[in-house]
Chain A
């Protein structure tokens, strides 16, 4: 009896093993069972920040269309460098591991100091938002408009709080200062919360950040946007369009441009999987559930920006070009 059971067991287990090997062949060849495990998203900032908020809103709906859950992994530090280096070092290239970051500050970071990995070894392929950089002041400030700021900046050096030196918003104010002759001193305060506090407590004269993080804050007044239009006039009624008003000659460079990225080797090895990622992501943008998720996350619907490889590539090229032009200013 025992012998029979053992033989039966051996038969069944051999059949099962053979079946699983045969069964796995089509999936390797055609990627038909992709994704077969959770999609891991490496996020190069802290949990609870803007990237986390955008990621949860998008991936929550994307998981429905892709048929699998997303798992965020946070690697903050050194302006995103820790997250990217970890992704390039540890992530697999089977299309299950993605990076989700803010293209602007992170690409500018590479302009200032090259990372250890090859910059062509990854690419952004799904952009989810476009949040313009803003100039903001405390409501207690004597300066009320960008014009006041420029006039004051011609008399004395103004201190400008920013999240980090290599940031699209920093770039915007540096170009404005250069064009108008005002004197500014950028003070990097490590993150949006500290930057807002710097202005609120009066330690700095003004600040620059993506507009979402400041537009609804009590005690702060958004007076300028580095963009070509103000799509949230009701929330930022005092904001003028600095790029056009002062003829800065800057291409549209949203300070917040969050996007998913992937290793280029993953695209080369699994083009079918990559296509599936894009086709399922496209469904997210047209899904009402995504809009609801964005509203729930308190981000403005107007800043949703549907973009793919082409749009992401254009953004990266633009910001790299402008960043290289002003590299000496960004690196202090």
Chain B
């Protein structure tokens, strides 16, 4: 035990020696996370020559710090201007943005950062303790089980549309239809591409995200003088340290909520091919289902902001576990990290924790330290970030459009993607003006292809036998949990009426 503690403290001290890597990477991560299109994965690819030249330990710490802080950074535009920095933050504006519109942007950011830091820190510690068990999750979750996990996420469409079920379902189905555009995963036959080669590899996600949220939002806010509904004077008066501390307090009171939603993120992060988007949708959906005040979700409810932010930060540590133990990356960024480590000759496997603790446990220690640095670095900035809300919309709307159009071009460098973003912007604007929820459309666009992929794979493995969907014990347990989660709100309503 003493020996273990000794190794642990020596790891912390070794990692802290790389402060010159962690601090700039953390700042860079916040910036790239906050700009739609500039994800951690893109940034690490761009900086690959630098990462490869600084050695495996420093390289890993650099990548982990960028990855961790970009996840948190993606929440900033989501909360302030209804623009998720990445797909993983797509559920964040559902309650974060209504708070900003009320003039509580600073408080909302504080809740977002506190839940991100706490959720990330907690799951990093849990990951360190549970590595041997969590690494086995990927062995049990195959296509059949993944179909149910996807349905957990897609059921959020029904939750979002609770105020107008028909419109919500239409929006969700429209999103799913868009999600199926592209070549199918088995025979690679193009569907609904209108002859555009650029759509063979599915509708590009970043332009769709940017269009539906950012561009349509820019069109909408231009009608108002400011993003926030309050006058400039009122908003300025509200900006104080009190709001920041209030946000921290609100999150700390809901510590249980932070714990269980971040654990959802950790588990989903371990599954290869799942990722932060599905984690945040599932966490939001479950958070609402089991909340005492589900009717407040979507109106700027703190729990609706805590759930996606805790869970998408929980994903960060989860995604590294299968990479280090079985060489299977949990997500795109982890896959790039694998390339860098393989370049340095690192052999993945359970023995990495004994043969090279700095590379085995080091990433988790670096992640924990990054979260602590983030906590101290970013909290004082909430006040200044939230000043974005005071910029008149006649300036901020064109800026949003220009920045996000550049962001939509970055991932694939296709001019075509800029047009896709504009088309989705128009779709989003019409949806907003006619009462259809853009988040429901986006859920379909993101999760539709993933669901189709797992569904076709399961059918192919079973040679077309649909009963395969109910062929595994774990899958059946998940089906039951899905049905329970769908009926919980109705049952709760029924019992409250009985009382």
Contact = CB atoms under 8 A, between A and B. Distances in A.
A157 interface: yes
B142 A190 contact: no
Interface string A285-329: 000000000000010000000000000000000000000000000
Interface stretch (B24-32, B64-72, B186-194, B364-372): B186-194
B98 interface: no
A48 interface: yes
A79 interface: yes
Nearest to A46: B201
Given A78-B201, A298-B342, A185 B187 contact: no
Nearest to A84: B197
B139 to A, nearest CB: 5
A203 B339 CA distance: 24
A202 interface: yes
B151 interface: no
Given A187-B461, A202-B139, A203-B142, A78 B200 contact: yes
Contacts of A230: none
Nearest to B186: A188
A19 interface: no
A193 B335 contact: yes
How large, as a class, is the contact surface on chain A?
A: 35 or more
B28 to A, nearest CB: 20
B336 interface: yes
A113 B342 CA distance: 36
A201 B142 contact: yes
B348 A218 contact: yes
Given A159-B461, A203-B143, A81 B272 contact: no
A140 B95 CA distance: 46
A77 B335 contact: no
B185 A218 contact: no
A204 B186 CA distance: 16
A30 to B, nearest CB: 35
A202 B137 CA distance: 12
Contact of A197 (B188, B328, B336): B328
Contacts of B326: 200, 218-219
B327 A219 contact: yes
B201 A76 contact: yes
A48 to B, nearest CB: 6
A48 B139 contact: no
A86 B461 contact: no
A217 interface: yes
A217 B327 contact: yes
Interface string A185-221: 1011110011011001111100000000000011100
Contact of B272 (A82, A113, A197, A218): A197
A48 B460 contact: no
Interface residues of B, number: 35
A196 B342 CA distance: 16
A201 B329 CA distance: 12
Contacts of A48: 45, 335-336, 339
B343 A298 contact: yes
Contacts of A202: 139, 142
B246 to A, nearest CB: 44
A281 interface: no
Contacts of B200: 77-78, 81-82
A86 B197 contact: yes
B301 interface: no
Interface string B121-165: 000000000000000001100110000000000000000000000
B349 interface: yes
Interface string A260-302: 0000000000000000000000000000000000000010000
14 contacts: A48-B336, A77-B200, A78-B188, A78-B200, A157-B463, A165-B186, A185-B463, A187-B460, A188-B185, A194-B273, A200-B328, A202-B142, A218-B347, A298-B342
- Leading 10 A-B pairs by shortest Cβ distance: A77-B201, A78-B200, A78-B183, A77-B200, A218-B349, A203-B142, A82-B200, A197-B328, A78-B188, A82-B197
Interface of A: 47-48, 76-79, 81-82, 85-86, 89, 109, 113, 157, 159, 164-165, 185, 187-190, 193-194, 196-197, 200-204, 217-219, 298, 331-332
Interface of B: 45, 138-139, 142-143, 183, 185-190, 197-198, 200-201, 272-273, 326-329, 335-336, 339, 342-343, 347-349, 453, 457, 460-461, 463
